[in-house]
Amino acid sequence: MHDFNFKKDQLFCENVSVEKIVKEVGTPVFVYSHKTLVDHLIKIKTAFAKISPLICYSMKANSNLTICSELVKNGAGIDIVSGGELYRAKKIGVSGKKIVYASVGKTETEIAEAIKTGILFFNAESIPELELINSVAGRLRKKQNVAIRINPNVDAHTHHYITTAKKQNKFGIDMGTSRKIFLQLSKKLKNVKLCGVHVHIGSQIEEVTPFIQAIKKSLALINELNKKGAGITHLNIGGGLGIVYRKERPQTADDYARAILPLLKDSGLKVILEPGRFIAGNAGILLAKITYVKDTPAKRFVIVDAAMNDLIRPSFYDAYHEIVPVKADKKEKLKKADVVGAICESGDFIAKDRRLPEALKPADILAVMSAGAYGFTMSSNYNSRRRAAEVLVKGNRYFIITKRESYADLIRNEVVAKV
């Protein structure tokens, strides 16, 4: 599942001791395993080999240039959601023919840039957006492929912030309106080739049933519309596969494929997938150094040099990340503690009520596991904290793939105006 393992009593990423990285790069630092990243991509590729889908890695999970570029080298396309992500995709030289673009709020400039890049699909999320894509494409004298992101009204049974396909959610277009778009509006949209359906129902989904429901609904719609001459050739089934953070038992790529391949294999459609977390989540950890151990009459706080600005998932979604001291001693006495950062909010915590070695002391290093997805990409400069460094390990070598920010970086766009 991942390549972070203890050798004797020391945590290693592949063949590099994480303490060595800490000594040379400092903390907080995200450390990723190249092997885990690529293995996860290959797991999906292999599971779906029968239909050879296009796997567009969802770069919002981790958009580091080296990471995306290594995945692209191994055959991935890219799923983007903003002009910034398009800029990154172009920087690593991924072919436009392997880029798909979702988002409820694509601006005119973003749309124009993506059309000029020759992206494979916009996943359109509203009629006004579709009309704007049509008019921008016309101006640029291009005919642009568009998929309709449908909202199938399926509950993915995941955290309500990352459930995206219930009718109350802002995403996608309801089935009735989607029908009308394909059968009526499409005739007016001369610069758009409406030839795809996209469905993404949420993230960290542990069961297969919601995926099956959404795909069945999509296929029924496509069959109905194609009988009437819609010409739909592509089905994008989104991302959302859950991973193990604690005791989850999510489906493996094979389980997922076994359940949905029978639905897809005779459809004649070209299938696109958009996994993010499944590829990057367990491929990364966040290393933090203990600053203080603070015992109060109520509880113990282990205060570290990473905080909610580095990893917001615990504060934002109450997410669980395992905490592992990088030097393990199995016989150690344990004591419950909260692992917290230095930020001035009680909501700034990385873990609550964890049984950690009682002997933990300043300068010891803790690893926050499964921090490869939605870790660095959601980080911020809150409290004027510099964003962490990122390191990629491959075998017995490691590469700094993001330098730690400097204080000068923090203010590089600011001006003390003469007011």
**Rounded CA gap, 78 and 33, in Å?**
20
- Contact mark string toward ligand LLP, 232..271, x via CB under 6 A: ------xxxx------------------------------
Q: Kindly compute the dihedral angle of the four CA atoms of residues 84, 86, 87, 91, in this order, to the nearest 10 degrees.
A: 140
Radius of gyration of the chain (CA): 23
| Catalytic (active site) residue 68 | no
What's the one-letter identity of residue 112? A
- Check residue 282 for interaction with ligand LLP (CB under 6 A): no
In this chain, which of 43, 277, 321, 385 binds ligand LLP, going by CB under 6 A?
A: 277
Based on the shown chain and the rule CB under 6 A, indicate whether residue 379 belongs to the binding site for ligand LLP.
no
- Distance, CA of 91 to CA of 149 (rounded, Å): 27
Is 203 one of the binding residues for ligand LLP (CB under 6 A)? yes
CB of 274 to ligand LLP, least distance (A): 4
Cα-Cα-Cα-Cα torsion 391, 394, 395, 399, nearest 10 degrees, comes to: -50
Tell me how far apart the alpha carbons of residues 117 and 99 are, in angstroms, rounded to a whole number.
9
Interface pattern 294-323 for ligand LLP (x via CB under 6 A): -------------------x---x------
Sole binder of ligand LLP in the list 62, 204, 282, 309 (CB under 6 A): 204
Residues within window 161-200 making contact with ligand LLP, judged by CB under 6 A: 162, 200
Tokens of 173: 């277009």
Nearer to ligand LLP among residue 217 and residue 300 (C-beta): 217
Q: What string marks each residue from 21 to 60 as x (binds ligand LLP by CB under 6 A) or -? A: -------------------------------------x-x
Give yes or no for a contact between 129 and 152, defined as CB atoms under 8 angstroms apart: no
Q: How far is the CB of 62 from ligand LLP (least distance, A)?
A: 9
Measured CA to CA, the distance from residue 278 to residue 195 in angstroms comes to 27
Pairing state of beta strands 144-151 and 121-124? parallel
304: nearest Cα among 292, 314, 317: 292
Q: Which residues are catalytic?
A: 344
Q: Which positions lie near ligand LLP, rule CB under 6 A? A: 58, 60-61, 79, 102, 162, 200, 203-204, 238-241, 274-278, 313, 317, 373-374, 378
